[in-house]
Amino acid sequence: MLIALATVALAVALAAFVQARRSARQLARLTEMYWQLKYEHGELKAAMAPPPEPASPPVAAFVPLGSVKRKSS
């Protein structure tokens, strides 16, 4: 009786181990597919985006210090 119970427990444990390995492989495959899809989406999004408009050059204004007058109190 004890040997039969141990055999059944071993069979159940082996089946659970096989199922866990199968699930781990499936998870790894799905994770790889997710990151590949995310990368391709980013590439397509960058390809579809309109080119950015060139920034206008900053306006440089020179103010000589002699033209700044102090107010006398």
| DSSP-derived secondary structure for 45-66 | HHHHSPPPPPPPPPPP----GG
Mean pLDDT within 4-10: 96
Q: What is the pLDDT of residue 70?
A: 66
Evaluate if residue 28 carries a pLDDT over 80.
Answer: yes
Q: Which residue type sits at 63?
A: V
Q: What is the pLDDT of residue 72?
A: 58
Evaluate if residue 20 carries a pLDDT over 90.
Answer: yes
Mean pLDDT of the chain: 90
Evaluate if residue 73 carries a pLDDT over 60.
Answer: no
* Domain locations along the chain: 17-49
pLDDT bucket at 64, cuts 50 / 70 / 90: confident
